[in-house]
Amino acid sequence: MTPAPAGNRRIGVLVVDDQALIRRGMTLMLSAEPDIEVLGQAADGVEAVEMAERLRPDVVLMDLHMPRKGGVAATREIMLALPRAHVLVLTTLDSDETVFEAIRAGAQAYLLKDAGEDELLDTVRAVHRGESRLTPQIARKVMDQFRRLASSVEAAPASAAVDRPAVSSAAAGRPAPASATEALSDKEEKILGLIAEGKSNKQIATAVFLAEGTVKNYVSRIMEKLHANTRTELAVMSVRQRRGD
């Protein structure tokens, strides 16, 4: 059992699942930990968004398939309203087609619902620290999706870029990239590798002897160059590059 952090600041968690037994089981398990506090339970995506905005949890345990509003849409809305929150998706099947979409929406970690108690608790704490976690099965699934996306982009005619509606950099919350094919510097490659290992900005700063604020700027620049929306996407891209996929 992990001791409660100094100052009694516990990790606030929102449990989201349409099955009452799963919600209650997760709540009982998490509530037994001195450093974790379950702030509420939501039975669908609509409730999840409303409760997240009201309770402002640190971590959201998100089911994918729910009535009224699914986990992908709920994740997207929560991340827009609470960019400092962390979404940990719990899914039943590693072949679920919504895996890639949830990562695009901002999910930071994935676990299968048959994960062990220790693994779940460790992942909750890890995402709260800013780390990204993907099971090997989920990582393979996401890499396959990236591969298909890259293939479709390469196969598209040049004129398609003109016809495709542009998303402004201001709307994305980041400055426009200098070049669509701009290569990463050695320092950026090093930082990308540490992101792939699940390191937080603070841990990266210690490893590369930079200020944490400087690391944040590097991460934003890397995301620009690779056209990634989340740190999890960056981690998957790095793993794929190392494997030569």
Q: Strand order of the sheet with strand 86-91?
A: 36-42, 11-16, 59-63, 86-91, 109-112
* Residues 108 and 47 placed together within one structural domain of the fold: yes
Residue that finishes a domain, picked among 138, 164, 188: 138
CA 218 to chain centre: 18
In sequence order, which residues have a C-beta less than 8 Å from that of residue 233 and are 6 or more positions away?
103, 104, 146, 223, 226
Domain contains 102: yes
Q: Which domain holds residue 40?
A: 10-138
Q: Evaluate whether residue 146 is within a structural domain.
A: no
Q: How many domains does the chain have?
A: 2
Residue 95 lies in a domain: yes
Whether 127 is in a domain gets the answer yes
Question: Which of 113, 106, 105, 101 has the alpha carbon at shortest distance from 142?
Answer: 101
215 and 129 in one domain?
no
Does one domain contain both 125 and 229?
Answer: no
145 assigned to some structural domain = no
Q: 79-99, pLDDT tens digit by residue?
A: 989 988 999 998 876 555 677
Summarised one tens digit per residue, pLDDT across range 102-156 is 877 888 888 888 888 998 999 999 999 888 877 666 666 666 666 665 555 555 5
